Structures are given as structure tokens and as C-alpha cells.
Amino acid sequence: MTSLMAIRDMLALEGRLQAAQIGQRTATPLPLVEAMLKQLEAMGRVVSLSADEAGCATGACRTCPEGKNCQPRWWALRQ
């Protein structure tokens, strides 16, 4: 099982990650990782970045019929 400090350290090393990536690397269930990220956000340690801030991979999000539903949520340390 992972800890809040382990997630914080992973974000410090990688820069930004998605919750699913953190879950895979730490073998932790996604709902637990998301809860831990929310706790770190409440503590002021991490921030959630939308694809607009992180950069859209395809550049076609404005015309996509799905709207912004497909945009991943990235997590990074607060600067």
C-alpha cells in the first residue's frame, strides 16, 4: 500500500501524472489513489491540472463531440 508521501515524492520526480498512472506504479486501487490526491490537494500540496492547462494532445478538443469529457486530469506539485 502506498502513502501520501510516496505519491508526493512520485509527483516531485515525474512532474505530473494521472491518477491511473500512480495507481499502476504503486499497485493501489484507483479510488484510493484519487482519495489520496484529493487529500493532498486539500492540504495544499498538489494541484489538479485540466488538459487546457496541461496541453491537449490532439488540439481538436474544441470540435470534439465528446466536449471535454475525454480530457485527462493531471496532478502536479503546487509551485
Q: Is 8 exposed, middle or buried (0-12, 13-18, 19+ CB in 10 A)?
A: middle
Question: Residues within the annotated binding site for iron-sulfur cluster?
Answer: 56, 61, 64, 70
Question: Residues within the annotated binding site?
Answer: 56, 61, 64, 70
pLDDT in tens, 8-51: 999 999 999 999 999 999 999 999 999 999 999 999 999 998 76
Which pTM was predicted? 0.77
CATH number, position 41: 1.10.10.10
Q: Could you give the CA distance from residue 41 to residue 47 in angstroms, rounded to a whole number?
A: 6
pLDDT in tens, 2-16: 899 999 999 999 999
Range of the domain at 13: 4-77
- The count of structural domains within the chain is 1
